[in-house]
Amino acid sequence: MDAVTYPEKAVIEFVERNVIPLRIGFNEEPFASDFRIKWTPTLVTLDNEGEEHHRTVGFLDPGQLIPSLMLGIAKVAFDGDQFEAALEYLEKLVADYPKSDSAPEAIYQRGVSRYKKTEDPKPLKEAYEKLADSYPDNEWTKRASPYRLL
The whole-number pLDDT of residue 25 equals 85
The whole-number pLDDT of residue 109 equals 98
Provide the residue ranges of all domains of the chain, joining segments of one domain with +: 9-149
The set of residues, in sequence order, having a beta carbon less than 8 Å from that of 117 and lying 6+ positions away, is 83, 84, 87
The DSSP secondary-structure symbol of 56 reads E
CATH of 9-149 among 3.30.450.20, 1.20.950.20, 1.25.40.10, 3.20.20.70: 1.25.40.10
pLDDT along the chain (150 residues), means of 10: 80 94 89 90 95 95 96 98 98 97 98 97 98 98 97
The whole-number pLDDT of residue 26 equals 84
The whole-number pLDDT of residue 1 equals 67
The whole-number pLDDT of residue 24 equals 87
Stated pTM of the model:
0.93
